[in-house]
């Protein structure tokens, strides 16, 4: 078919429908191939000659008010899935290619790429700068883009997984009014605390350099307090509402109080719930938020879980055989504790999953790229997926659970910033989300 002709669909033997629009092929798969893999193929290429629109069965889909033209979204795979019905296929055919890209593809791209694409045209500049596109992108794009790392007393650094696709203008967060320590991250937002006196919290988007100073909490949040940022983008709420939940140990008392900040009210509230424990009540730097629950690891090798909705807690014991230095994370929708031990290039990985933290995976792999017998390393917190990330010296290594393959996917910058000895490393999503 001449690509210059008016687009029309073609049906292949395997049920694949191809629409030719200008120089772009839009392929609508009737099969149930994993849409995340399809989108990964697309955005890993330097050019974008083909866009895949992949459906699942109608029984697995939930129709939502369209966020952009011709879109049905499955809640469980919101970031991976585009579904085009027979009616919407005709709408796509009648669109110019620039409109196809602008309305369908842009919300799936990282912030750095979108900022670069503002120079394409005035229409694209207006589209990308609109709050609606920022809202769409914050919901659809949630790929792990890199890590903010920090050594004690130093400014943060950003360790990107792809310098061409992901990046922030000021990795050291110098756009904030004073030096800060990074505390927590969630869905593109970063929580920081003023370094000298720890008297102020800042919430910011490193991609846009937008920031807010939060009101003073009612309790004293000193060095022992452990605060978690909770932010879940919603397709039906343009306002990026977020919460902070802080576990605050009482001085010389075996008691932890909880204080909650809500962006909707812009205020803190000390909760009635208290946690009493006779043992050590101090926290490690490992903390995590998923599905409405905040998790803290304590130095007593326990995990304190707190539900933001019902404001109750639960204590989970780490398995006795779990190595120290692990992280709380999420793999395939489950809470996980991931640990690793590296010696002379040999890496032993253990994964414990579920609310009972049962051992589900053990792997022994070789890190040929690590020459030192005793390298500095740390397991990095993952986002939704089936990949374990380990920072070894200046190298970010990924281990795929599906096939056991391990590879280097990133490298820390010059000067050792963000190396394996960093005191804190937070996962980051390159998002355009606007602050509430």
Q: Closest by alpha carbon to 290, among 305, 301, 279?
A: 305
What does the pLDDT read at residue 313? Answer: 94
Determine the angle formed by the axes of helices 122-129 and 131-140, rounding to 10 degrees: 70
Alpha carbon 254 to its chain's center: 34
What does the pLDDT read at residue 294? Answer: 96
146: left (phi over 0), alpha (psi -120 to 50) or beta: left
What does the pLDDT read at residue 348? Answer: 86
What does the pLDDT read at residue 83? Answer: 38
More confident position, 56 or 164: 164
Q: Which of 35-44, 302-311, 338-347 has the highest mean pLDDT?
A: 302-311
What's the pLDDT tens digit per position in 375-404?
A: 778 888 877 667 888 888 778 888 888 888
Choose the weakest-confidence range: 112-116, 283-287, 302-306, 403-407.
403-407
What is the β-pairing status of strands 50-53 and 24-28?
Answer: parallel
Contacts 24+ apart (CB under 8 A), 174-178: 175/204, 175/209, 175/211, 176/202, 176/204, 176/211, 177/213
Cα dihedral 64, 68, 70, 76 sign: negative
| Cβ-based neighbours of 225, under 8 Å, separated by 6 or more | 219, 246, 247, 248, 249
User: Does the structure show a pLDDT above 60 at 39?
Assistant: no
Q: How confident is the model at residue 292 (pLDDT cuts 50, 70, 90)?
A: very high
Q: Which residues, in sequence order, are bridge partners of residue 69?
A: none
What does the pLDDT read at residue 364? Answer: 86
What does the pLDDT read at residue 419? Answer: 56
What does the pLDDT read at residue 371? Answer: 61
What's the pLDDT tens digit per position in 331-361?
A: 878 899 998 888 777 888 899 998 889 999 8
Q: Above pLDDT 70, what percent of the chain?
A: 72
Residues 10-18 have a mean pLDDT of 38
Choose the weakest-confidence range: 77-91, 203-217, 239-253.
77-91
User: Does the structure show a pLDDT above 90 at 197?
Assistant: no
DSSP H or E segment with residue 298: strand 293-298
Rounded to whole angstroms, how far apart are CA atoms 324 and 306?
22
Is the distance from CB of 83 to CB of 9 less than 8 angstroms?
no
Domain boundaries, the chain: 9-108, 146-428
User: Does the structure show a pLDDT above 60 at 172?
Assistant: yes
Is the distance from CB of 16 to CB of 28 less than 8 angstroms?
yes
The two three-digit tokens of residue 190, written as one number: 């970063």
Q: What is the dihedral of CA 23, 24, 29, 35, to 10 degrees?
A: 150
Choose the weakest-confidence range: 50-59, 211-220, 297-306.
50-59
| Cβ-based neighbours of 3, under 8 Å, separated by 6 or more | 20, 22, 23
Domain at 146-428, CATH class = mainly beta
User: Does the structure show a pLDDT above 50 at 31?
Assistant: no
User: Does the structure show a pLDDT above 80 at 417?
Assistant: no
What does the pLDDT read at residue 237? Answer: 76
Q: Which residues, in sequence order, are bridge partners of residue 379?
A: 390
Rounded to whole angstroms, how far apart are CA atoms 374 and 186?
32
Rounded to whole angstroms, how far apart are CA atoms 199 and 251?
17
| Cβ-based neighbours of 29, under 8 Å, separated by 6 or more | 15, 16, 38, 52, 53, 54, 55
User: Does the structure show a pLDDT above 60 at 425?
Assistant: yes
User: Does the structure show a pLDDT above 80 at 155?
Assistant: yes
Return the SS3 of 306.
strand
Residue 132's CB: how many other CB atoms inside 10 A?
12
């Amino acid at each position: 078919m001449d690509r210059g002709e008016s687009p029309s669909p073609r049906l292949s033997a395997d049920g694949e429908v191809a629409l030719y629009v200008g120089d772009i092929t839009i392929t609508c798969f009737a099969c149930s191939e994993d849409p995340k893999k399809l989108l990964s193929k697309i955005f890993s290429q330097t050019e974008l000659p083909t866009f895949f629109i992949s459906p699942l069965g109608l029984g697995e889909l939930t129709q939502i008010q369209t966020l952009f033209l011709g879109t049905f979204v499955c809640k469980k795979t919101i970031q991976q899935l585009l579904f085009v019905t027979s009616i919407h296929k005709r709408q796509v055919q009648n669109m110019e290619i620039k409109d196809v890209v602008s309305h369908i593809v842009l919300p799936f791209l990282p912030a750095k790429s979108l900022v670069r694409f503002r120079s394409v045209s005035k229409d694209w500049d207006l589209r990308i700068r609109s709050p609606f596109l920022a809202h769409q992108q914050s919901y659809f794009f949630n790929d792990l883009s890199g890590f903010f790392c920090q050594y004690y007393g130093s400014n943060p650094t950003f360790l990107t997984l792809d310098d061409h696709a992901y990046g922030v203008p000021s990795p050291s967060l110098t756009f904030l009014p004073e030096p800060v320590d990074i505390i927590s991250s969630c869905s593109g937002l970063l929580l920081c605390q003023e370094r000298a006196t720890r008297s102020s919290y800042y919430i910011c988007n490193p991609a846009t350099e937008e920031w807010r100073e939060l009101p003073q909490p009612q309790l004293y949040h000193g060095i022992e307090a452990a605060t978690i940022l909770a932010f879940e983008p919603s397709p039906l709420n343009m306002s990026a509402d977020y919460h902070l939940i802080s576990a605050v140990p009482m001085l010389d008392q075996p008691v932890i109080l909880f204080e909650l900040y809500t962006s909707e009210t812009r205020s803190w509230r000390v909760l009635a719930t208290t946690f009493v424990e006779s043992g050590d009540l101090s926290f490690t730097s490992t903390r995590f938020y998923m599905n409405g629950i905040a998790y803290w690891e304590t130095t007593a090798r326990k995990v304190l879980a707190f539900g933001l909705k019902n404001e109750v807690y639960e204590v989970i014991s780490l398995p006795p055989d779990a190595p120290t230095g692990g992280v709380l994370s999420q793999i395939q929708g489950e809470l996980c504790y991931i640990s690793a031990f590296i010696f002379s290039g040999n890496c032993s990985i253990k994964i414990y999953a579920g609310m009972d933290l049962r051992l589900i995976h053990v792997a022994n792999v070789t890190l040929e790229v690590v020459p030192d017998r005793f390298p500095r390393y740390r397991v990095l917190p993952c986002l939704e997926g089936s990949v374990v990330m380990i920072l070894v010296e200046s190298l970010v290594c990924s281990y795929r659970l599906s096939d056991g393959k391990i590879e280097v996917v990133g490298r820390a910058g010059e000067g050792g910033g963000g190396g394996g000895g960093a005191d804190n490393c937070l996962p980051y999503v390159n998002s355009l989300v606007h602050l509430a």
